[in-house]
Amino acid sequence: MKYHYKEMPESMSGTYGEFAKNFGFDWKEFIMGIPTPMFLVTTYKSNGQPNATMQSWAGFTSANHGGGYYVILCSVNKRGHLYQSLNEKKVAVLNFMSSDLYEACMKTIQNNQFEADEITSSGLTAEKASWVEAPMVAECFMNLECRYLWEKEIVPGDDHVMICLEVVGGHIEKDYMEDMFGDKGILYNVHYPINPENVKEKGCDYVAALRKVNQSYEY
């Protein structure tokens, strides 16, 4: 049996409905619970200090015409340091952390003052990228250096935009290349999953790791 959801269930109309509205999420996001990769985006602010922004809600793709590897940041706040830095510098680094670095990377959310070095103040090590003018996090197992291509509002007048970056090149730890799954691999954001048929008063986001379950096909 399948449940069918076109309008927000009455069970979510109180706490969860207000939470979604106040933080800019749609109620469908909580029910459908589609995980997305998690990483730390680093740039330089206009004062030269490193900026670090935890990011999910993103997708990666290639282009058939002209080649290239691209990431779409699906929700970037126009009022945040990341948006300002990307528009000023036109470059960034995507830093992928293993589970043991998750707490340190999350500290960048609190250590986000304009005057702060948001990487070192969170207990991480900043180093210069090789091909773009941006910092990257030394402890992260994969760093993708990117350049800004374009941005677009999902709906006209929204305070968040989608931003497309092209991956110029990357740095990947040997251990990750040999084992891409489990805690050593890419983490995923499971955003506040809710079962509207059994709503509980408290919930939380989850962090998940990829686990190989089957072979699809051989190239």
3-state secondary structure of 215: coil
Residue type, 219: Y
Tens digits of per-residue pLDDT, 22-57? 666 788 888 888 999 999 999 999 999 999 999 999
Confirm if 55 and 137 have CB atoms less than 8 A apart: no
Number of domains in the chain: 2
Higher pLDDT, 27 or 16: 27
Question: Is the predicted pLDDT of residue 219 greater than 80, yes or no?
Answer: no
In a domain, 178, yes or no: yes
In this structure, are 180 and 147 located in the same domain?
yes
Q: How far is residue 155 CA from its own chain's centroid? A: 20
What's the rounded Cα separation, in Å, for the pair 121 and 115? 11
> For residue 22, what pLDDT is reported?
60
In this structure, are 15 and 84 located in the same domain?
no
In a domain, 218, yes or no: no
The span from the first CA to the last CA of the chain, in angstroms, equals 37
> For residue 47, what pLDDT is reported?
96
In this structure, are 18 and 62 located in the same domain?
no
Give, for 19, the enclosing helix (H) or strand (E): helix 15-23
Question: Is the predicted pLDDT of residue 94 greater than 70, yes or no?
Answer: yes
In this structure, are 200 and 121 located in the same domain?
no
Confirm if 55 and 107 have CB atoms less than 8 A apart: no
Q: What is the mean pLDDT of residues 125-137?
A: 98
In this structure, are 49 and 89 located in the same domain?
yes
What's the rounded Cα separation, in Å, for the pair 182 and 187? 9
Supply the CATH number for residue 147's domain: 2.30.110.10
Q: What is the mean pLDDT of residues 147-165?
A: 95
Range of the domain at 53: 36-189
Tens digits of per-residue pLDDT, 163-214? 999 999 999 999 998 888 888 899 999 887 888 888 876 678 889 998 888 8
In this structure, are 81 and 182 located in the same domain?
yes
In this structure, are 2 and 89 located in the same domain?
no
In a domain, 159, yes or no: yes
